[in-house]
Structure 1
Amino acid sequence: MIGIVDYGRGNLRSVEKALEKVGFEAKIMTAPRDLQTVDGVILPGVGAFADAMEGLKQGEWIEPIVEFARSGRPFLGICLGMQVLYEVGEEHGEHAGLGLLAGRVVKFPPGRKVPHMGWNSVSLLQPSRLLEEIPSESYFYFVHSFYVLPEDSQDILGTSDYGIVFPAVVGKDNVWGAQFHPEKSSPWGLQLLSNFGKLVNEYAALSSN
């Protein structure tokens, strides 16, 4: 079972429907106690970094989410949900993130229209279970004004180019992030969600033995 975190900042139903379309059971979680009933988690997000962290704080999600991710269970952040995986966001001042990945979230430099909105190709840099069967230079749908600067370049699985090259997919151990919206990026976005679902099922099977 895949849980989708409802903290008032994401396209929950569209993510749930996309997972169902590729054959994986998902549920929208409205309270941290729901984390005890799932084997993998997706953290969606739309809006501003500080606003997202405030929503997680008000819902008392922060510590349970960090504990869940550090337990080794599969965890995927989408768009703003990817950005808050990092230590610091620079939108409207500096704000602490979840700190599951090392790095910062910064604004696109002047000279390009923001938000970066629409379809863009993703160059895959290294193999990952999350990206299996997805060709490099496949197109995905983006909507964002900030991007991540990971501390460790080994965490960058794929990049996109919007006047500057920025991380489009990141991952370390059991924690992954997609800057684009896979639920809006058929067919390759659905492939990514399917790959995540398989990782969740594998973890569930191993933990039940």
Structure 2
Amino acid sequence: MTSEIDIATDKIVAGAPRTSEFEDYKYFHDTLVTLIEYNMTAPYRFSIYGALVEHRAVCEGYGESFKLLARKIGLDVICVPSKEHLWNYARIDNHWYLVDITFDDPGTTNKNGELVYASGNGSNVIYTYFMVGEDFFTTHSYSIKSHTINKSLTYVKNTKEFEFPELSEISYTIKYKGQLSSNLMNSMMDGALSSYSFNPIRSLIQSILFGFILIYII
């Protein structure tokens, strides 16, 4: 099992662009969304093995895999748990940002409106929860509950409680919008246009999201 994980990990890491920390984070984010099928019944759904080898996992598989891949090339990533969810903090320029690959893998819908999680299909990549800071929650208050840290899950008897780092006050993509917004917008548009089926509700949500980003750019 370990050797299979090593092979899968090495293959993904070999494709990392290594042009900047941001681009490497984005590469791992996009790769995992494309690779993994969100699956609540898979036997190894809580593990790296389930995510990288069987390609079926839940949030633990996404988060632990992102941490493993990032650390392989020297990036600083940790896993962060709530009572019912797990995501990541990633560091750039000594600031920490939230990355939730599970929530950025929303699946797509077929012509009957049924939700489909398509493993190996990158058409559903979004960046709503990619490299965001505290400012994100002022406009996404519905996400506060699912992203409230449950420190009791990290408690180990007779050890000091782990201190989670503070998130940056400003999301990375907003802080560096002059350098990143065009590339990020192009990536998001590519993902939206390559979607294999049309869903009016999802289309409306994407339009609103793109509108907010355009406001930030302007």
Band of TM-score, shorter chain: under 0.3
Whose strand proportion is higher, 1 or 2? Answer: 1
Whose helix proportion is higher, 1 or 2? Answer: 2
Larger Rg: 2
* Alignment TM-score, normalising by the size of structure 1: 0.27
* Alignment TM-score, normalising by the size of structure 2: 0.26
Which structure's relative contact order is higher, taking Cα pairs within 8 Å and 6+ residues apart?
1
